[in-house]
Amino acid sequence: MAPGLIPQTFIDELVSRADIVEVIRARVPLKKVGRNYVARCPFHKEKTPSFHVNAEKQFYQCFGCNAHGTVIDFLMEYEHMAFPDAIEELARERGFTVPRGAGIPDHSEKHRTLHEWLEKATQYYQRMLREHPQAQVARAYLERRGLNAEVIARFRIGYAPPNWDNLLPALGGETAKAPLLEAGMLVKKEGSGRVYDRFRHRIMFPIENQRGQILAFGARQLGDDPPKYLNSPETPLFHKGNALYGVYQVLGQMRSTDCLLVVEGYMDVVALAQYGIPYAVATLGTATTAEHLKRLFRITSRVVFCFDGDRAGRSAAWRALEASLPELRDQHDIRFLLLPEGEDPDTLVRSEGLDAFTTRVHRATPLIEHLLGTLQAESSPGKIERQAQVLARVRPLMTNLSSEIYRALLMRELAGFTQLPLDQLSELMRSSVAVPQNTPPPPKTTQPMQRKSGRQIGEQHATHTSPMRTAIGLLLKRPDLAKLAGDPSRYAGWNIPGARVLTEVLTLLQTQPTLSLAAILEHWRGTETGPYLTQLAQWTPMVPAEGMAVEWKDALERLAQQARDQETARLAEKDLSTLTEAEKGQLRALCTRTRTG
């Protein structure tokens, strides 16, 4: 379910009826101070409360790390949820049913049913690991890998007995058949219609989502039945390119983490947790995808990809780098740790110990250094040829690099490597760099502990607030000002950054004047404009409430004058003999208005 499939009218009503204070207080202890509620920020460590919740605006902000947003933002960041899941959770708490767009079926009940059957299967496999006569080989394997009872229980590891028909009779016979087939636990035999167990004589690793609900299983062979590792197939719950093994255990150990270590397999995650590294997750043996990166960055801003040092590991690291570029933001820190050949995280942490392995993680290679190092290692030995080949391979990658800061740093490193002047190098690479749109630059969204403080943002706004920012910012504070603006279309033709946003906000507020600040912001979630409006929502105008209407009108007049000056300059630059009579009249009127204004 994508955000666009939930009617905006429902989101407006849900956000308007939800009390952000009530939602946050259920998760964080709040204390009323004046008109606001305060607490120690749940997104960074602090001794003095700097986390503020404004009931009137339905908005929260931390003046320490600058975490901020609506009730939806809070659920997404605190619970590490995607947008649709946050809507579902808020609707459930309020007793609402989330409607879908036309033709979009509601799968929530089916998903709940499948989760329940997979939970029953998990409990069955856990019991079999303890009780089945042939589970001794599974227990011996886990013991050889150094896993104790506590970590086995934490990851809910189990055992699938041999034979072809264990699961169905254990879970209820025919009533379990249809859901277990749909969940990928049973396989239908062609021709006969009979079913058999997908997993037999294997160690079972439940794959959970961030809430601890079972999505699927990974299974490690104990006998001769290939493959060595077998995952559940794609199901309504499980999509291999989206899931991360171990994410629930990470979130259970810590509300927030400075780093996530991404490894290749189930045993790597479990063994690292056993030896004191509880922040590892795995991509289930598949290449890293954009969805993996999105999920990782909802939890932390620092990701370290850890792969074996052989050819396959280096290839996996490069694919992860390519997937990372479009998702990379200025505040993100992506690094790469390639282990000594013949080692994996499990064997290495056991052989060299926690401290040495942790040092490796802290010293992992930064993304740009890894990118250039890999390309140089794979290029021709000649200096000129190597430089040319590196530039040729970097150029298409620049198209996908979304962070302006990382792009600038990469250009600096390339200039040093090629010894080309930066302006010449920029000209060579220019065709690979996307041209930004003529819209107000969105502020950079940031993660905990890397954000600017609320005071810093306030100081920036106080000294750099343009008439356009003032006009839009005041609208967010006082939506009723929109009724003073007249027809919003008059602003659409202004060639001023932000004119489109001003027009859209005015149009929304003139049609829905009772929207709260939170509901306004939800209209632009996931768009280029959204972060820009969210930053303006934190701005405190240096004018009392009774003076806001006058300040707003003044900002609009300054914008109108700016638009007139632009049009005057445009017409004045043209050859007067080519002007139409209408344009000549327009120029005279503009010049007269400028003189008298």
Distances (CA, A) of 385 to 222, 393, 442, 450: 50, 12, 40, 40
Quick one: 148 and 229 in the same domain?
A: yes
Mean pLDDT score of the chain: 83
Q: Looking at 238, 266, 293, which one is the last position of a domain?
A: 238
Q: Are residues 129 and 53 in the same domain?
A: no
Asked if 592 and 458 sit in the same domain, the reply is yes
| pLDDT number for residue 580 | 64
Query: Confidence band (pLDDT; 50, 70, 90) for 370?
Result: very high
Q: Sign of the CA dihedral 443, 446, 452, 456? A: positive
Strand-pair category, 260-263 with 302-307: parallel
Q: Are residues 88 and 114 in the same domain?
A: no
pLDDT at residue 452 is higher than 50: no
Per-residue pLDDT of 259-298, as tens digits, reads 999 998 899 999 999 999 999 999 987 789 988 998 888 8
**HSE-CB of 373 using CA atoms within 13 angstroms:** 14
From 40, 72, 94, the end of a domain falls on 94
Q: How many whole angstroms separate alpha carbon 496 and alpha carbon 274?
A: 58
20-52 pLDDT tens trace: 999 999 889 999 998 899 999 988 778 889 999
pLDDT digit string (tens) for 133-180? 999 999 999 999 889 999 999 999 999 999 899 999 999 888 899 999
Identify the band that residue 581 occupies on the pLDDT scale cut at 50, 70 and 90.
low
> How far is Cα 218 from Cα 213, in angstroms, rounded to an integer?
15
pLDDT of residue 240: 87
Q: How confident is the model at residue 366 (pLDDT cuts 50, 70, 90)?
A: very high
Task: Kindly indicate the confidence band of residue 586, based on its pLDDT and cuts at 50, 70 and 90.
Answer: low
Give the CA angle between residues 507, 594, 501 to the nearest 5°.
20
Tell me, yes or no, whether 63 and 113 share the same domain.
no
Residues 116 and 75 in one domain: no
* 120 domain residue, yes or no: yes
Task: Tell me the residue range of the domain where 405 lies.
Answer: 370-428
**Is it the case that residue 447 has pLDDT exceeding 50?**
no
Q: Indicate whether 27 and 85 sit together in one domain.
A: yes
| pLDDT given for residue 268 in this prediction | 92
Q: What pLDDT is recorded for position 446?
A: 37
Domain count, the chain: 4
Q: Give pLDDT, residue 400.
A: 84
- Looking at residue 474, the DSSP 8-state letter turns out to be H
Q: Which range is least confidently modeled, 113-122, 194-203, 486-495, 585-594? A: 585-594
The answer to which of 64-68, 127-131, 135-139, 498-502 has the lowest mean pLDDT is 64-68
